[in-house]
């Protein structure tokens, strides 16, 4: 289901209703039906990155090997990002951190630490504003460029992986990402670690969904995630899952 296929289906439905109106004199109120269906799919498709509605997003890999990727959004965080890095080191795991540009100031050493520990850095916009999806193409480009510049000034690499805030995509976001040559990264295992307060439930939710090629979404913003991560890493180890970088799981380039 993409925006294009939804749009084509909508237009065909309108043509059918107009034909029926012309030949069989049905009521034009029938037009409300395809309009509602179209609006529903546009909202649903925009809110779910896995549908590739406006643009292709990498959400998992097709593989039989027991390899998975773990990702952390919304850092860098002074308190929790270093804890995540230590845990990953303990389990010899490589992860990807999608950073919010405005949080880099004051946390520069953490950004350098992520990179020097062998993890990957991706773009999670500069502001991560709740209203970010109302931005035009140049607004999204600014968001991406500001974060990219801050990271480049610290590690000397141009980041090329982009995770849209809240997993929401829009036509303007897709255009900006394409123009700046970003690969859009989603997930197929959402931990819900920012919404659910019950650690056991989060652990169960994640571990039950772990399959070869999975991409797991966490947030390095709370103590709860540290506990959940520890349990997830332990589960992965016990069950023979190797935690690899995004680039090696998906065979893509994380930097320019």
Residues annotated as catalytic are 73, 219
| CB of 54 or CB of 98, closer to Zn ion | 98
Q: Compute the least distance from the CB of residue 167 to Zn ion, in Å.
A: 8
- DSSP annotation string for 24-75: H---GGGGHHHHHHHHHHHHHHHH-GGG-SSS-EE-----SS-EEEEEEEEE
* Residues in 160-219 that interact with Zn ion by CB under 5 A: 165
Q: What is the DSSP string of 165-191?
A: GGG---HHHHHHHHHTTPEEE--SEE-
Q: Which is nearer to Zn ion, 154 or 217 (CB)?
A: 217
> Which element (helix H / strand E) includes 75?
strand 67-75
Q: Which residue is nearest to Zn ion (CB)?
A: 73
What is the x/- site pattern for Zn ion, positions 55-94, by CB under 5 A? ------------------xx--------------------
- Give the Cα separation of 240 and 221 in Å (integer): 27
Task: Report DSSP state, residue 254.
Answer: S
CB of 242 to Zn ion, least distance (A): 26
82 or 165: CB nearest Zn ion: 165
Per the CB < 8 A criterion, the answer to whether 104 and 147 are in contact is yes
Q: How far apart are CA 246 and CA 109, in angstroms?
A: 22
Q: How far is the CB of 219 from Zn ion (least distance, A)?
A: 7
Please state, in angstroms and rounded to a whole number, the distance separating the CA atoms of residues 170 and 163: 13
CB of 105 to Zn ion, least distance (A): 18
Number of residues engaging Zn ion in binding (CB under 5 A): 3
H-helix or E-strand spanning residue 25: none
Report the C-alpha gap between 169 and 56 in whole angstroms. Answer: 10
Which of 73, 143 has the CB closer to Zn ion?
Answer: 73
Residues near Zn ion, by CB under 5 A:
73-74, 165
């Amino acid at each position: 289901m993409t925006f294009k296929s939804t749009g084509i289906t909508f237009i065909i439905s309108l043509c059918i209703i107009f034909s029926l109106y012309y030949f069989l004199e049905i009521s034009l109120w029938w037009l409300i039906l395809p309009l509602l269906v179209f609006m529903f799919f546009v909202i649903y498709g925009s809110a779910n990155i896995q549908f590739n509605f406006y643009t292709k997003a990498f959400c998992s890999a097709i593989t039989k090997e027991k390899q998975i990727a773990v990702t952390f959004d919304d850092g860098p965080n002074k308190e929790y990002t270093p804890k995540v890095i230590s845990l990953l080191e303990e389990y010899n795991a490589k992860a990807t951190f999608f950073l919010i540009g405005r949080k880099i100031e004051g946390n520069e050493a953490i950004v350098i630490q992520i990179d020097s520990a062998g993890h990957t850095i991706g773009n999670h916009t500069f502001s991560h504003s709740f209203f970010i999806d109302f931005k035009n193409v140049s607004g999204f480009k600014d968001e991406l460029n500001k974060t990219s510049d801050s990271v480049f000034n610290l590690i000397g690499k141009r980041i090329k992986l982009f995770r849209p805030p809240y997993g929401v995509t829009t036509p303007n976001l897709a255009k900006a990402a394409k123009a700046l040559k970003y690969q859009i990264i989603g997930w197929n295992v959402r931990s819900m670690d920012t919404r659910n307060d019950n650690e056991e439930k989060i652990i169960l939710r994640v571990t039950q969904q772990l399959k070869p090629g999975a991409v797991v979404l966490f947030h390095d913003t709370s103590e709860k995630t540290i506990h959940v991560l520890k349990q997830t890493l332990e589960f992965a180890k016990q069950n023979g899952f190797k935690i690899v970088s995004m680039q090696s799981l998906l065979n893509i380039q994380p930097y320019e």
